[in-house]
Every structure is written in structure tokens, then in C-alpha cells.
Amino acid sequence: MQSDSVSGVVHIFAPFGRDAPSIAGVLNAAGLRTAIHESLPRLAAALDDDVGAVVVTEEAVAKGTAALLEPLAKQPSWSDIPVILLRSPHSQKRPLADPGLQLSINIIELDRPLGSSSLLSSVRSALRARDKQFLVRDQMRALADGRAALERSEAELRLVADAMPVLIAFIDRDLCYRFANKAYEAWFERPVSAVIGKRVPEVVGQEVWRTRRPLIERALAGEHIVFEANWPFSDGRRRDSEIRYSPRWDADGAPDGFHVFVTDITASKLALETSQQHASDLEAMVAERTAELERQMAAREASEAALRQSQKMDAIGQLTGGIAHDFNNMLTGILSSLDIMRMRLDMGRMEGMERFLDAATASSQRAAALTQRLLAFSRRQSLDSKTVELNALVGSVQHLLRSTLGEKIRIQMATSDAPLRANLDSNQFESALLNLAINARDAMPEGGELILRTSHVFAAEGEVPTIPAGEYAVVSVSDSGTGMPPEVVERIFEPFFTTKPIGKGTGLGMSMIYGFMQQSGGHITVDSTPGQGTTVALFMPVVHDAAEDDGAPSAQPVSLGAGQSILVVEDDEQVRMLVTVVLEDLGYTAEVVGDADGAIPILGSSKKIDLLITDVGLPGLNGRQLAEIARQSRPSLPVLFMTGYAEKAQERSAFLDNGMAMIAKPFLLDAFSEAVRSSMAGHR
């Protein structure tokens, strides 16, 4: 790779992990010179005139940047060292620990994750800007060294100025002309000698002086002034002029006068006015053409919207068709088992009933698991990390993938021989696998093969780019699709970056997976070749302690009641009946209503109520609103919410108040009885 034609060393301060060597590796490969510093004071001590740029990570300067202020404050006037700040992936754009630094330096903020090309582009841009500063430095030195030569060439400069068809003059703070070129003879019809040494009012006249005076005072205060004026010929002909006042500065940095540049712009003004005469006709033509284009664009957008809607409906139909297929299989197991049991009860045959009860229960639990998985994919949850066995977890997601990807995609499994454990949030991990599978499906429009592979990997230092050395459990998703070129792979984790057409993707899927892996202490790699497919690998630290694995939940004893009074609010008639029967069989006294309107009079009465059990998604007032009303008259009343899916109940910590609990439908008898008992445990 060819190096840039830039000078200066890139100084790096990124002391955590392998950030500094990784950054230096990218820059060195491009032919740039780098220097890595172990502390902020050492970086500050290295900031001399030959510094090209500084790269620091947000974490490195989180505790303060005071050590940089002194060397930055001592920079010469031509110097403004560019500092590139690499923001953390989870940064909320918080200010630096030292707000004074942000006002003192030329800072460039970049958000991570950041591809090597983006980092290299930003550093090159900073170095080019720094090279311009070096050029100014060299020019200032040359100017100081060449002042004598400049004095020798003053006569030549006057010849050049006199040849220019522009009024050129210098006026000092006393408003006296100290220089004027030959053009003044043509404009003022007097020799230059009659201008130099005269004050402005004497040269331009009192009437012009009154209009120019405020502008001249601003120029003498150090402001660059540009304006237009009509300065007619002596015979009355029109002459439009552009006038510029440019302050000149003395050695102390104060304006000691200003240069005057006056240009005749009459020809361009006349041309502009001529073109404006035809503007109305042109505007009418443009308006007509614009209206036609707007009609065409509206028709095109309507067509594209219809196409996007059709594509979305096709995808929804494919997904719901697959889910319906699985649910029908599960419902067949439930309904058939119940029909057989009903038939045998009518016949008086009781033998073998447990087999059909087990079949119905197993099908019901499969349906419940599928529903919960679908709900988990539709939510954004905080991580609930546990030790899981990856072979089983990847295997369990196959049913959902087959429903989502369709029959044209062949799904293959290749799992490790030994158990493979990692610490992660299983719901979020399944969501990541689903996202990767959908991306793979889109890359195989004509069908293909998707391979889910689990493996145990020992990564040596530098063996896998961007992956630190260590022992990992790896889950990879490979497809035989179209693949991606390197420039797309480099940007794949950028938020909102997508190669899919409008309406086909938000560009958030891969960045969300990247964030999840970072939050879980893992890593992600992408290997793709155009025309040969893509492999995305998720690396997670291996967990060896098998005792941390979640085993099957042990059966809990059913908790019985002692006649406590429970108010049940449930809009579904069958659920209402079943909950009532369960409560009464457990030894409670249950009063049941179908909505909040039926519950409010009971809650407002003097009747003893030990527990309120309510569905969240009620018609009218929802369960949470009903609980608020109940707490107004019964502040200590415990509440148990039942929910199948309720959008407002996704974040339990924010949804539940003291004395409130929640149980998800469908639930088993022991879990329900324990939830009821726990809810009333502190109620007297």
C-alpha cells in the first residue's frame, strides 16, 4: 500500500487491551509513522512542532486531561494539533472529564465500532490539515527571512500594481493615503502624487466620506469589509464597483491601517440584469417541469410502496404459515389426547390415561415455549445472563428458523462432540441467531444452504484478527449466498448501514448483535467472499463449571390456601373459569369478574379481599390502571398480574410497584399456587 504524502508522527494513547497496537498496526500498514505512549504525561512531553496528530480513546482520558493543557497552551500561533477521540461503543456523548480541554484543542470525535478504512481516512485528513499548518510555519519563517528581499522587490510590486485595472491603495490610521496605484489617475482624473499624503475626505469628497466613514471605522477596528457602490464616471455614465477594505496588522497584532481594492463590476451587473429579464419565463418553465416530475415521483413512490407492502405481506405470510404449521401439530397432540380421554371416560376405561395426559401436556409446553420465544424476539430486554449449553440452545432454535426461512433454505447442524458452555442471555442470543439467519436468507434469493456450527476454539495471539488470545465457545452461521465485498464488510457493524433496498431493513440488526456480543464479553467476526457466501462467527469465553448450568426445574409442592378471599379479573371466559376452579381446589374463596368496571365496585366496598389477581390486557381500563384504583382505597392490597403479552409490561422493574408480582401465561399449577402464596405472604 502506498504511503500518504504527509509528514508528522501520529501519537497514540490507548492503554486498555490491544487498542493501541491495533490502531498503530492499521496506520503503519498505510505507511504512517506512529508512537505509542503509556501515560498522559509522556504523551504531553512528546508534543513538539513535528507532531502530526494525536489519537486517544475515550476511556484513556476519562479521569481528566489536565496534563495536556500546558503543552497545548504553549503551541505557537500557527499550530493547532488535531486530536482524534475514539468514543466508546456505549458512550452517550457525555462531555470529557475536563471541559476546558474541549475548548482548547482541535478535536475530532469518532464513534466505535470503527472500520480500519474509516480510522485511516480520519487520520489522513487530520495529517493533511496538519501539513497545511507546517506550510504556514515554513512560509512565516521564509517571510521573516525574506523581508530584505521583499524590500528590494518593492519597485517591482509597484509596477505590477500600476498595471492592474483595479484601484489599489493603503490608508493609515490617520486616514492618509500612503500608497495608491496608477488606476487612481483614471478614476479620479488626478495624478497619484495628488492622492498620496492626502486624507480620505479630501480624495473622495465629503458626500462619499459620510457614507464610507462607518465602514472605514470598522476596517480600522480589524474587520474585513466588502460592499458594492455606484461610482459613476465623470460624464455621468454608470459604473458599479465592488469595494474591499482589508486591515493590515502591525508587529503587536493591532491594525495599523487598511488596504483598499476597488473593482469595476459594471459588465457583470449588466449581464445579471439582462438574465433576470428572462427569469420569469424560465421560472414558469421550471415550475411546470417540476410539477410534472412531482407527479411522476408520486406515482413511482406509490408503486414502490405497493411493492414494499406486497413484499412485507409475503414475508409475514411465510412466517405465520410456518408458525401455524407448528401450532397445528401441537394442537393436534392436545386435542387428540383430550378426545381420546373423553372417549375412554365415556366408555369407563381408565387404563393408560396418564400417557394421553403426558402427550397433551408435552404439546402444550412446546406451544408455550414457541410463544415465549416469539415474544422474546419482539422485545428489547436487559441481559439475563446464565450459563447455557450451546449445542442444545442452537438445536432448540431450529424450529423457529425453519418457519422463518422457508422451504428453499436447507438448514444443517454441525455441533461439537463435547458439551459447550458459555455465560449469556439465551433469549438475546437466539434473537441474534435469528437476525443472522434472516440476513443469510436475503443473500440466497434462489435458495441455498444455511449451516449452524458450534466449536471449541483456542485462539493464539494474532491468530484471529480482532480476537484476543483465549479459549472460546464459537457459534457460526454460514450461508451459500451472494457474499459481500471488503468495503461492505468493513461497514457492516455501523448503525443504520444496510445494503438492502428501502423497506427491507433498518440497518440495526448487525450493530445490535455487535453491541450484545460486546456487552456479553464476546467478539464477532465476518468472513465473506462475493459469490461464495458469508460466515459470521460469535466468540464467547468458555465456561468450564458445569454446576452452573440451569437444570430442569424441580417440581414444587402445590401451595394450599385457608379460605382467603381473592378477587379475579379476567376477560377470557375459559381462563376465568379455569383460574376459579384452580383457586377453589387450592382452598381459596374466589370472586370473579370480566373487566375493571365489574371489579371497581367490589374494591370500593367494605368486603374483605386478601389478593387481587388481574389480567394486564383488559378491555377498557387495563390491569395496571385497575391496581392503581384499588390501591387508593386499599393501600396494602397485594396484586398478582397475569399476562400473555402486554407491551407496557415488558420492563417488569418499572411496571411493578411494592406488593405487586407477575406471572406469565400459560402457567403450571405449582407455579400459580406458589405465586398466589408468595403474593399474600406479607399481607395481614
Of 49-53, 321-325, 354-358, 630-634, the range with the lowest mean pLDDT is 321-325
Mean pLDDT calculated for residue range 658-684: 80
Asked whether residue 118 carries a pLDDT value surpassing 60, the answer given is yes
Mean pLDDT calculated for residue range 316-338: 61
Here the cell at position 2 is: 502506498
pLDDT per position as a tens digit, 54-112: 999 888 888 777 787 778 778 888 888 888 989 887 665 556 555 555 555 678 888 88
Of 167-176, 476-485, 555-564, 604-613, the range with the lowest mean pLDDT is 555-564
pLDDT per position as a tens digit, 415-447: 888 889 998 878 778 888 888 888 888 888 888
Burial of residue 127, with CB atoms counted within 10 A of its CB: 0-12 exposed, 13-18 middle, 19 or more buried: buried
Q: What pLDDT shows up at residue 297?
A: 85
Q: State the average pLDDT for the chain.
A: 80
* pTM confidence score: 0.36
Q: Which CATH superfamily groups domain 565-682?
A: Response regulator (3.40.50.2300)
645 band by pLDDT with thresholds 50, 70 and 90: low
213 band by pLDDT with thresholds 50, 70 and 90: very high
Say which CATH class 382-541 falls into: alpha beta
Q: Which fold has domain 9-136?
A: Rossmann fold (3.40.50)
Q: What pLDDT shows up at residue 274?
A: 78
Reading across the β-sheet that carries 470-479, which strands appear in turn? 409-414, 448-459, 470-479, 533-541, 523-529
Mean pLDDT calculated for residue range 175-195: 89
Of 299-308, 569-578, 581-590, the range with the lowest mean pLDDT is 299-308
219 vs 277, residue with greater confidence: 219
CA 91 from chain centre, in angstroms, equals 10
Asked whether residue 385 carries a pLDDT value surpassing 90, the answer given is no
Sorted by where each begins, the domain ranges of the chain are 9-136, 164-379, 382-541, 565-682
Burial of residue 258, with CB atoms counted within 10 A of its CB: 0-12 exposed, 13-18 middle, 19 or more buried: buried
Asked whether residue 16 carries a pLDDT value surpassing 60, the answer given is yes
Q: What pLDDT shows up at residue 2?
A: 42
> What is d(CA 560, CA 583) in angstroms, rounded to the nearest whole number?
9
* 382-541 and 9-136 share a CATH fold: no
Here the cell at position 167 is: 484601484
> Which residues in 16-105 belong to E strands, given as ranges?
34-36, 51-57, 82-87
- The candidate with the shortest Cα–Cα distance to 231, out of 174, 161, 168, 167, is 167
50 vs 150, residue with greater confidence: 50
Query: Quick one: what percent of the chain has pLDDT higher than 90?
Result: 25
Burial of residue 378, with CB atoms counted within 10 A of its CB: 0-12 exposed, 13-18 middle, 19 or more buried: exposed
Asked whether residue 652 carries a pLDDT value surpassing 80, the answer given is no
Q: What pLDDT shows up at residue 550?
A: 47
Asked whether residue 198 carries a pLDDT value surpassing 60, the answer given is yes
Here the cell at position 562 is: 385457608
Burial of residue 219, with CB atoms counted within 10 A of its CB: 0-12 exposed, 13-18 middle, 19 or more buried: buried
Q: What pLDDT shows up at residue 114?
A: 83
pLDDT per position as a tens digit, 134-162: 888 888 887 767 665 656 666 777 788 88
Architecture of the structural domain at 164-379: 2-Layer Sandwich (3.30)
Q: What pLDDT shows up at residue 599?
A: 93
Here the cell at position 20 is: 493501541
57 vs 6, residue with greater confidence: 57
> What is d(CA 562, CA 677) in angstroms, rounded to the nearest whole number?
11
